[in-house]
């Protein structure tokens, strides 16, 4: 079992709708969780981090964490074509100070 798993998609969402991206992880002791966005041909960039159970909101983005279910999600409200990218879930493996990434989900927002 991979340490971090995502649905690779592609996920297609109409403009203005909510895009929902999901991620599960295997290390129950993990404490830090991150979402990176990667545009085609570019490097990944951090967009959200979450450390506690519940929701964390930043503008149109909401990260959700459920440690009991070992589940992290990212919601993008009022999706825009500029949100079209690959979204990578990353987990800071307990005590190792290294980020393990999922496969990434390719998201397309259709105008």
Identified binder of other proteins from the candidate list 1, 40, 68, 98, rule CB under 8 A: 98
- Name which of 92, 66, 70, 81 is nearest 25 in CA terms: 70
> What is the C-alpha radius of gyration for the chain, rounded to an integer number of angstroms?
13
Burial of 22 (0-12, 13-18, 19+ CB in 10 A): middle
Identified binder of other proteins from the candidate list 21, 25, 37, 44, rule CB under 8 A: 44
Which residues, 6+ apart, have CB-to-CB distance to 59 below 8 Å? none
- Name which of 101, 76, 83 is nearest 23 in CA terms: 101
Cα 94 → chain centroid: 19
To the nearest whole angstrom, how small is the minimum distance from the Cβ of residue 29 to other proteins? 15
Only segment of 3-11, 14-22, 56-64, 70-78 that touches other proteins (CB under 8 A) = 3-11
How many residues of this chain bind other proteins (CB under 8 A)? 25
Only segment of 13-21, 46-54, 58-66, 71-79 that touches other proteins (CB under 8 A) = 46-54
To the nearest whole angstrom, how small is the minimum distance from the Cβ of residue 111 to other proteins? 25
Which residues of this chain interact with other proteins, rule CB under 8 A?
Answer: 4, 6, 8, 32-34, 36, 42-46, 49, 51, 88, 90, 92, 97-104
């Amino acid at each position: 079992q991979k340490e971090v798993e995502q649905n690779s998609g592609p996920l297609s969402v109409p403009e203005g709708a909510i895009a929902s991206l999901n991620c599960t992880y295997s290390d129950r002791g993990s404490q830090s969780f991150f979402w990176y966005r990667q545009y085609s041909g570019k490097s990944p960039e951090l967009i959200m981090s979450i450390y506690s159970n519940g929701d964390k909101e930043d503008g149109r983005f909401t990260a959700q964490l459920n440690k009991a279910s070992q589940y992290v999600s990212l919601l993008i409200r009022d999706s825009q074509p500029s949100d079209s990218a690959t979204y990578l879930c990353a987990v800071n493996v307990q005590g190792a100070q290294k980020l393990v990434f999922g496969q990434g989900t390719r998201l397309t927002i259709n105008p």
